[in-house]
Structure 1
Amino acid sequence: MDKTVTSAAQAVADIRDGARLAVGGFGLCGIPSVLIGAVLESGVADLEAVSNNAGVDDWGLGLLLAAGRLRRMVASYVGENREFARQYLAGELEVELTPQGTLAERMRAGGSGIAAFFTATGVGTQVAEGGLPWKYDGVGTGPENVQVASPAKQTQTFETAEGPKEFVLEHAIVADFALVRAWKGDRHGNLVFRESARNFNPLAAMCGRVTIAEVEELVEPGELDPDQVHTPGVFVQRVVALSPEQAAEKRIEKRTVRAQGESA
């Protein structure tokens, strides 16, 4: 039952070229930065990443982007990462933009054994009708330059409290590996996330066939209050305990300050 491994490098050693990774975090909050660094150092390439966004230019998934290791990205947000936008517009990266709530539910469904679900989000738009540019040809960004476009999705009308309503079918996401960061974790893989760092981490942990968690504080089994556990150990296969220095390194995506004494 002891799922701890001695290093991040050991934890990601079996990730191979072409793997699909689900990565927790929101912006730079709660991202598994140590595991991402280990993936970068391992040299694997041609990866598909599923995450809310791609970090920033010099941190998080932005490091894998800059090194040319990502082939495809499934995300809901492109902002704050110039290299992400550049690669997409230059036809170097395939990007499947997905509404944020839909992305979260696709990941949760993948971990729950639900193959697909209907949602009202995206009905009447290209999300449902297809034609969203996933990849450009590298020549331009006009309609004629779309190399890969999103397919049309099945829609169906259901009776609701407000009357008949149209919904669109979305497929679950299951990843080969999931990388997450937790505030506390025990040797059995039970995880607790702190405040807003909870974000996409529990969802990513659910949808990975092999889930690897880096934890800021490793505790012994029985030390975590069961009522406080956000991700049960059944979803987690490997646990990496961070050093105090690694746990303390948390970058701010956008630092906004004001002069001392200045009113808000």
Structure 2
Amino acid sequence: MLGKRAWPLVLLFLAGLPRFAPAQSSPSDIFVNEDAEEEEVFEPLRGFTGYGMTMGVIRLHGGEVTKGAKVRPVLQGDFRYRFSDRWIGKGEFGFGWNGFDARADTVLAVTYGTLGALREFRDVVGLTLRAGVGLGMYRWNYKNGGKSVRDPVTQRFYRGFVPGGYVGLEGEHRLTRHVTYTLAFQEHVIMTGADRYQSLFNEDIAAWTARLGVHYHFSPYEGIIWERKVNRKISLTSGRADK
């Protein structure tokens, strides 16, 4: 048992012990990673005009003449106008060709221009997906050794300028405020059968294309705006934005 004189000493000892309490955070303790990248949110391109170039591959199919066709490059220019966030009107001009396994020095070349529309239906992993349809005119030419081949019965050249159309699927991703890239697949129908040849081109042919493209957009009201990147860093200590 402690004497009466010892109790004051015990109380003084306990009072001198450090107090264990949860540490309180102060504003200066907060760590801010000023270099962290923020996800950019771009303004809609509604009412903007776009110009672009796409490249990829084309494969002709359907009909006797396309048997053994080889996949070859296709080049296509793209003009588009964004009527709304969902609807895009577009014009395309392209050129491609196919060679053939069993027919050396023989190619079937196609040049075309189409007008169509795209409608947005879903966003997936950063891509805006759109379905499209279009109509146009197709110039086709079947050549051997650089010269057009003739129909053996009618002696008409295997070449023509015929109507056609396509259905397609496109995925688009925004790179900057004005620049996007696209991945597009299209299935074309070329009405070569309308020219009434006796063989080879006595029926319609088709072609699928897969292309990757880059597009630049500008507003008809603002004109062409060059991209400019601005770096901003914010410090909680100063509360100011340094440009």
User: TM-score, structure 2 length as denominator?
Assistant: 0.24
Q: Which has the larger radius of gyration?
A: 2
Larger fraction in helix:
1
Larger fraction in strand:
2
